[in-house]
Amino acid sequence: MKIGPRYKKARYLGAPVFKKTQTQKFALRSESKAKTTHRRGAKSEYGKQMLEKQKARFSYGVSSGQFTKYVKQALQSQGDNSKNLVSILEGRLDNTMVRAGFAPSQSAGRQMVSHGHITVNGTKLTVPSYQVRVGDLIKVREGSAGKKIFSNLDESLKATKIPAWLGIDEKTKEIKILATPSAETSELLFDVKAVLEFYTR
């Protein structure tokens, strides 16, 4: 998915949706930029909802078409639509690698999977959008364990706050899906309800 200049995009969205923008340096630059930039007029309700949709898309590195597909799936499923959508987004294999501490960013997780470094239940997968299921066992492919992309894995695992739906065996470097993927609203960089309202208006 083509993104363009990440600093500029994150400033426009008003949220650090990329790994490189989740730093103090970016926060200071954004604050300085805001002081020297004329304020735009207030956004309409539609404009606000559109902005939340874009935040969600870029947070997970998903194309517009694929994101629309996920929203439709969430709306057609039983239960809470907001939780359904978050579960689908969190349950992508590339995102799972990020949440587990195996990848530092969405783009790295996507590359990790698409280059064939990851196996699910013993089978090599190259589809970043694969939806993980409860009971799935995810591992680094034996032939890929020595790759540079995994050189700092031990340190990364210790520094990462692992969500409750994941189980990590730091010794064997295995990830097990313990429950349905989820995320607290406070942990998200976007308003899920506003996103759904954008598609159901």
Domain ranges of the chain: 6-88+186-200, 92-177
pLDDT of residue 201: 85
Is residue 139 helix, strand or coil? strand
CATH topology of domain 92-177: 3.10.290
193 burial (CB, 10 Å; 0-12 / 13-18 / 19+) is middle
Give the Cβ contact number of residue 198 at 10 Å: 20
pLDDT at 185 (0 to 100)? 85
**CB neighbour list of residue 61: distance below 8 Å, 6 or more residues apart:** 1, 3, 94, 106, 107, 110
Looking at residue 76, what is its pLDDT?
A: 96
Q: What is the pLDDT of residue 148?
A: 92
Beta strand pairing call for 166-169 and 174-177: antiparallel
Q: Is 181 left (phi over 0), alpha (psi -120 to 50) or beta?
A: beta
| Residues of the chain predicted below pLDDT 70 | 1-42
**Whole-number pLDDT of residue 124:** 97
Q: What is the pLDDT of residue 25?
A: 53
Q: Are 156 and 179 in contact (CB under 8 A)?
A: no
Architecture of domain 6-88+186-200: Orthogonal Bundle (1.10)
